[in-house]
Amino acid sequence: MLWVKAFHIIFVVSWFAGLFYLPRIFVNLAMIPADSVAERDRLLLMGRKLYRFSMWISLLAVLFGAWLWLGYGITGNWLYAKLVLVLLLSGYHHYCVVLLRQFEQGRNTRSHVWYRVFNELPVFGLMAVVILVVVKPF
C-alpha cells in the first residue's frame, strides 16, 4: 500500500505543477503585444505540451488514488469531499484546454488580471484536499 500511496502523491504533485503553471502561461499570452508572433507561438507550444503532459499525469494520479480507495478500502466522509474537489480540479484542468484553444484561435477576450486570479484557484483546491486528507475533519 505504501508504494501505491507514494506514486499517488508523486503524480498528484506533478499534476499540480501543471495546474499551477499552465494558467501562468495564459497570463503571459494575455500580456504580449499583437505583433509578437514568435513569443505567442512559443508560449502556445509550451501550453500545448504542458497540457498534454499534465493530462497524462492527472490520469495516473486518479488511477493510483482509485487503487487506494477501492483496493485498500479507504473510506470516510472526508474522502467523498475530496473526490468532489478532484472532480472540480479536473474540470478546471479541462477548462484550461478551452482557454488554450481560444488563444490559438486569437479569440481571447480576458485580461492578464483575470488570468492571474484564475491562476490562483488550484491553490485553494490543493489546500482543501490536503486538509481533508491529513486532518480528516469528518
SS (H, E, C) the chain: CHHHHHHHHHHHHHHHHHHHHHHHHHHHHHHCCCCCHHHHHHHHHHHHHHHHHHHHHHHHHHHHHHHHHHHHCCCCHHHHHHHHHHHHHHHHHHHHHHHHHHHHCCCCCCCHHHHHHHHHHHHHHHHHHHHHHHHCCC
Share of the chain above pLDDT 90, in %: 96
Residue 34 has pLDDT above 90, yes or no: no
Residue 7 has pLDDT above 90, yes or no: yes
Length of the chain measured in residues? 138
Residue 26 has pLDDT above 90, yes or no: yes
Share of the chain above pLDDT 70, in %: 100
The answer to whether the pTM exceeds 0.85 is: yes
The more confidently predicted of residues 109 and 34 is 109
Over the chain, what is the mean pLDDT? 97
pLDDT of the residue at 130: 97
**pLDDT tier at 82, thresholds 50, 70, 90:** very high
